[in-house]
Amino acid sequence: MKVAVVGVTGLVGTRMIEVLEERNFPVTEFFPVASERSVGKKVTFRGREYTVISADEAIAAKPDLAVFSAGGGPSKELAPRFAAVGCRVVDNSSCWRMDPTKKLVVPEINADVLTADDYIIANPNCSTIQMLLPLAPLHAKYRIRRIVVSTYQSVTGSGNKAVAQMQAERAGQSWGEYKAYYPYPIDENVIPHIDVFTENGYTKEEMKMVNETHKILRDDTIGVSATTARVPVLGGHSESVNLEFEKEFELEDIRAIWENTPGVTVQDDTANNVYPMPLYSLGHDDVFVGRLRRDFSVQNGINFWCVSDNIRKGAATNAIQIAEVLLQKGFLPSE
């Protein structure tokens, strides 16, 4: 099994290496790939040091699998070139997500859509993944009519440059003394702006949550309204989710469904101040849910709070889980 990690020196690429190691993915040849400015750097995988190579070198080696976290531009150019040599590509950018010819996959929800013909597979947006993991089984039983979601997203979702900005601010540097990623200071601030604004007044991040929800759940009738914000947290996204169902429900039944949903952990004991928080999600792959309660303002409504490590389940882990499905289905070499 020849495996390439494209964008290996970034936040998500680094975590992809860790997840490949942790999940004991069967790698026999490893190709760390990054942009030209990072070629020649060293990375470590399973205790061995590797030199970062260019995409051209990796393509020439004809890997069986390439997991991408290199951004939309490089993915648009490089993913088809990897696929052309028989390589399965799992891409973490937004480039292919809404392409009708490409599958958008959260393995616990819709792994069944993957076929032998899929050579470029899209990894969903981090905020969409963590919302849909607890929603999918509820939609199957109660039919979701409407979702209203507000996100509180970590700076790690923007990459190393955003992390450096917040660290500079926390070190006491004034605005203008450091290279800023965001248009405003982020430390001690909340910026209600993730990705670019579109003509309808929503940001691309917000519209991703709308469109990806429809595609993954295979239901365009669900109403989705999203507001996404960046908060001064170093890791872990949080979301406040409001749902309106078509059918009646009992709260205990929802808890029981979540307790039996792979990848979901219930932390919902408000009497003892037990609820999900991003600080404690770091390093974990589950989506943590809590603060479950009825929404008394609508019929068949609930509110809940969910948290997940956005670099793991929201990116690296989900990508490797897709690769595991490809392996299980026989689309990758097993030996």
Other C-beta atoms closer than 10 Å to the C-beta of 196 total: 8
Domain assignments of the chain as residue spans, ordered by start: 2-123+315-328, 127-310
pLDDT exceeds 70 at position 214 = yes
pLDDT of residue 235: 86
Hey, which bits of 159-253 come out as E strands?
A: 223-230, 237-245
Buried-exposed string 12-41: b where 16+ CB fall within 10 A, e elsewhere? bbbbbbbbbeeeebebeebbbbbbeebbee
271-301 residue pLDDT tens: 999 999 999 999 999 999 999 999 999 999 9
Is pTM beyond 0.85? Reply is yes
For the segment 196-203, the average pLDDT, to the nearest whole number, is 97
- Give percent above pLDDT 90 in the chain: 97
Range with the lowest mean pLDDT among 35-44, 212-221, 256-265? 35-44
Average pLDDT of the chain is 97
Helices 126-142 and 251-259 sit at what angle, rounded to 10 degrees?
A: 120
59-86 residue pLDDT tens: 999 999 999 999 899 999 999 999 999 9
134-160 residue pLDDT tens: 999 999 999 999 999 999 999 999 999
CATH assignment of 2-123+315-328, given 3.30.450.40, 3.40.50.720, 3.40.50.2000, 3.50.50.60?
Answer: 3.40.50.720
Q: How far apart are CA 232 and CA 154, in angstroms?
A: 6
Confidence grade of residue 335 (pLDDT, cut at 50, 70, 90): low
pLDDT exceeds 80 at position 232 = yes
pLDDT exceeds 90 at position 334 = no
Helix, strand or coil, per DSSP, at residue 43: strand
Q: Which residues are catalytic?
A: 126, 237
- Nearest residue to 6 (alpha-carbon basis) of 69, 75, 82: 69
Could you give the dihedral angle defined by the CA atoms of residues 67, 207, 255 and 264, in that order, rounded to the nearest 10 degrees?
A: 10
Burial label, 279 (beta-carbon count in 10 A; 0-12, 13-18, 19+): exposed
The 8-class DSSP code of residue 247 comes to S
Q: Is the dihedral of CA 228, 217, 122, 80 positive or negative?
A: negative
- The CATH superfamily of 127-310 is Dihydrodipicolinate Reductase; domain 2 (3.30.360.10)
